[in-house]
Structure formats: C-alpha cells, structure tokens
Amino acid sequence: MIGDIQIDAEGRRRHFLTTEGMPAETILGILDTAESFISVGEREIKKVPLLRGKTVVNLFFESSTRTRTTFEIAGKRLSADVININTSVSATQKGESLLDTVRNLEAMHIDLFVVRHPLSGAADLIARSVPEHVHVVNAGDGRHAHPTQGLLDMFTIRRYKGDFRQLKVAIVGDILHSRVARSQIHALTALGTREVRVIGPRPLLPTAVERLGVQAFTDFDEGLRGVDVIIMLRLQRERMCSALIPSAREYFDLYGLTPRRLRQAAPEAIVMHPGPMNRGIEIDSAVADGPQSVILPQVTNGIAVRMAILARLAGATQPEPKTP
C-alpha cells in the first residue's frame, strides 16, 4: 500500500503521496504549520532559512501553471535551491525511462522531488525507488491523487469556516476523472466533516461512490441545498467530445454554478475552484468574481501549504501520530 512507504521505520514522514488513510492529526499539523508560513509572503524579504542547502526538483510531465509555480515559490521561500525540469526537452522524450531519469538526477544529490505525471502511480513508483534520504511529493498522478491541492483546499475551508464537524461541503462536476476530488474526499472525511456531497451527471460519478463516505446527487439544486462550501471542478475539455455529456452548453444549463443556483446554498457559503476555470461551462463569471468566491485566496494559500509540506518532509524530526 502507498501508505506503507510514506512513513519511515522511525515513524517520520518520508513522502507525501496521498491523503487516503492520512490521520486527522497529520492533516491538522500541516495546516497549523502552513498558518505560520502565511506571514512570510507579506514580508519585504519573503524568505526563511529552513531548507537552506537543500535541492528540490520540480519534475512535471504534465503542463501546469498554478501547481508548478506555487511549488517553485514555496521552495525558494524556504531558501532551497529549486530546479524545474522541462520534460519536453528531457531525456524521457528520447526514450529514457522514468526511473532512469530520476536516478540520473539522484546522482546530482537531489533531496526532494515534486512529481506530476499523467499516469496513476508514477509518484508511488519513484518513491519506492529513491534512497532513504530522498523525499517525493505527489503533485498529481493520473486520475489517482492530488494531495497538496486537497490540503490547500482544507486550509482555505478552515480559514473561512472553522470546525469541519459543523460543515456541509459539496464537490461538483467530473468526480469520476478528478484526482483532486479524491484527495478532497479523503481529507474531508478524515477531518470529520458533517456532510460531504458529490454532485454531477450520473456518467461523471464513480460507481458506488457512496462507499467513500459521501452522498451523491444528480440534481444540482437538491445537492446544493444548505451547503456551507461549494467546490467546483474543472470539466476537462477532452470529455466534452465523448458520450459522457451531450454538450458544454447543456452541461452549464444543468450543472453550471450561477447566482441563482448559489442561492440554494447557505447564505454565507463560500465558492472554491482548484483551477483552471472554464467560465460559462462550470461556473458563471458573476459567481467566480463575486463576494462569496475564495478562488484567488486558494492560490495564495497554496504557497503556504506547499511550504509546510516541503519543510515537514525535508526537516521532519517528529514521528507521525499513530493511526487508530
């Protein structure tokens, strides 16, 4: 299991690969650490020396703006040396295997890899192959997991809404293909969220999704009723040409978040989106830019959360709490 390789023999966290099975104490500890890093971005000199002398490689085999950039900023604010590998011109494009690429980078005395890959399990594969002193962070692998996005979303929810045990949270859209949704669901349930709902057309909901501890809705208005947090997911354009949905226009008519639909939620509900947004497909601009939107703060919070994860991995000395 992935969880077995995230923790070393002394109980310290080696890798950050998934939120599945992660104890609430670990999640809250990361959120608390991230809280202490928020003020770093507000200083004139936006640096702390916690990872001075460490080398972090961002190894991205998929395009990304927010995730890669926030990881780069996070590493640099911790005073690490950060290297971004351009995979479009890397040796993997010439036939070199993923593990051979990693091993060649290891030979340059890398301390930490941040990996995004289109294949599920790629970060797990790398984590199993690296020496004990090297750490791996999963920045998104296929349809499997995006744990740092999941935790920055938890951080944002806690900042605006407080105790998860009092909250109703709705995740809306392409749940079936979303690694973000999976990471959010595992984190929300670990934190004891009062109610977690998933909303979407039946073809975009996983079979037996209720086994994850969520309630499933195909009626958007019914699913939104009384929720405190709405997390909209990107509808991937490649899905629009398939038989999964009839058209982008019809999808927006049925599952686009508009001001009218937003009124179904609790009066002080917040609206989130991991990005990039498809305006007019999954969310109306009036909502995305409106007073209940916390989409841009999510991006800002991502830096602090990723700082916390990098710092706790590369500088961790405390054992992980035992899972009951």
DSSP per residue, 158-172: HHHH--GGG-EEEEE
Q: Which residue has the tokens 């949270």?
A: 169
Going by C-beta distance under 8 Å and a sequence separation of 6 or more, which residues neighbour residue 245?
Answer: 201, 203, 204, 235, 239, 251
Query: What is the C-alpha separation between 251 and 222, in angstroms, rounded?
Result: 16
Token digits of residue 132: 């004990």
DSSP category for residue 180: H
What's the distance, CA 108 to chain centroid?
28
Which residue, 58, 54, 27, 234, is CA-closest to 139?
58
Cut 0.75: pTM above it: yes
Q: CB–CB of 136/113 below 8 Å? A: yes
User: Which of 123-127, 213-217, 240-244 has the lowest average pLDDT?
Assistant: 240-244
- DSSP, collapsed to helix, strand or coil, labels residue 115 as strand
89 pLDDT more than 60: no
265 pLDDT more than 50: yes
Mean pLDDT of 66-87: 94
Give the pLDDT band of residue 310 (cuts 50, 70, 90): very high
| CA distance to 85, 106, 247, per residue, from 60 (Å) | 7, 16, 31
**Each residue's pLDDT tens digit, 97-151:** 899 999 999 999 999 999 999 999 999 999 999 999 999 999 999 999 999 999 9
Token digits of residue 300: 């800002």
Going by C-beta distance under 8 Å and a sequence separation of 6 or more, which residues neighbour residue 10?
Answer: 319
- DSSP, collapsed to helix, strand or coil, labels residue 68 as helix
320 pLDDT more than 60: no
86 pLDDT more than 80: no
Identify the architecture of domain 2-145+302-314 in CATH: 3-Layer(aba) Sandwich (3.40)
Mean pLDDT of 3-22: 86
Parts of the chain belonging to CATH 3.40.50.1370: 2-145+302-314, 147-299
Which residue, 98, 102, 120, is CA-closest to 110?
102
**Domain 147-299, what fold?**
Rossmann fold (3.40.50)
